[in-house]
Amino acid sequence: MNEITWRSPSNIAIVKYWGKHGEQLPANPSISLTLSEAYTETSIAYQEGSGHIEFFFEGVKNDAFAARVTSFVSRLEQEMPSLAGLDFRIESSNSFPHSAGIASSASAMSALALCLGSVAAQVAGSMHEATDVSRVSHFARLGSGSAARSVAGPLMLWGETPALKGTSDEFAVVVDDVDSVFETYRDSILIVSDEEKQVKSSAGHALMNGHPYAQKRFELAGQRIAAILDILREGDVHAFGKLAEQEAMDLHAMMMTSTPPFLLMRPGTVSIIEALNAYRSDTGHPVYMTLDAGPNVHMLYPNEIAAQVLEWIESDLKKYCTGGKILHDKVGHGPKFITS
């Protein structure tokens, strides 16, 4: 059997993707920081066969995920016919604990898309599929929308916007014109709860269909994309943080005003946000937070103030984290080809 291995990171959205249509197309453009410490490593061993797929997560056979991968592969076969009829044995593991309550679909589906692109390239005798960022991003998007933004770094934008040339709803692009301070960003993820997500992503996106505030939300996200591109260019860390917090609150507001409504923050989330507001007004440090579709708080700050921020997190915020769990991540440069 031939084997291919890729390591692909997670990402954290600053302008959020929430709402979709058609075949995994976003209702609004989104932008994210590519992470580096939270990643999925996936190996695919393959041989000529009958299209049989076996999937192992951290050494344990997972038939439910094998079924999801089977439908993903059959979607990709339309574009990479050389995948047809191959048998796959897929092994996947995460660098972060399974129960960390952080979304793993971005890293998992991008690692898988990269592996399948490389397999198709090997079988067809060309490296095209595995090296073209927009093509791999497009494949990853079909697995999970946010995965489209994990195939390169340090920042990726997914969704068509007049604010940046070359953007598309089909794939994410690297944002080039960025002040170097953003490449030094840290993301300390404060794990308030490590329970399973209350709302799975696909059900969450569906809440935006017919949502009374949906149109305004999509419009605002589009405007914020234009604003953040200027902010990134200028290196304005306070404007960046303010926009990140506004987006986090909007995402949660959308869930609170859905039918049925969801409250994803926990008391610990609110305590951390209040402590952050006080810390910022005391110190003036550019530390801001964002939230995913859950209660955990992503603390975002530039590396030059890391020593002070880490000390504060340890002394004042750790008590709100379940089992004192905090994952320290930072901006990275995207996936790594491990071996073939």
Residues that bind ligand PMV (CB under 6 A): 13, 16-18, 30, 103, 105, 144-146, 201, 292-293
Please state, in angstroms and rounded to a whole number, the distance separating the CA atoms of residues 335 and 288.
26
Minimum CB separation of residue 292 from ligand PMV in Å reads: 5
Minimum CB separation of residue 16 from ligand PMV in Å reads: 4
280/330 with CB nearer ligand PMV: 330
17/288 with CB nearer ligand PMV: 17
13/164 with CB nearer ligand PMV: 13
285/298 with CB nearer ligand PMV: 298
Minimum CB separation of residue 182 from ligand PMV in Å reads: 17
The set of long-range contacts for 119-127, using a CB threshold of 8 Å and a minimum separation of 24, is 119/2, 119/4, 119/44, 119/46, 119/82, 119/83, 119/86, 119/88, 120/76, 120/80, 120/82, 120/83, 122/2, 122/4, 122/340, 123/82, 123/83, 123/86, 124/80, 124/82
18/72 with CB nearer ligand PMV: 18
43/107 with CB nearer ligand PMV: 107
Minimum CB separation of residue 195 from ligand PMV in Å reads: 17
203/278 with CB nearer ligand PMV: 203
Minimum CB separation of residue 237 from ligand PMV in Å reads: 21
Minimum CB separation of residue 329 from ligand PMV in Å reads: 15
53/248 with CB nearer ligand PMV: 248
Minimum CB separation of residue 53 from ligand PMV in Å reads: 22
Minimum CB separation of residue 221 from ligand PMV in Å reads: 10
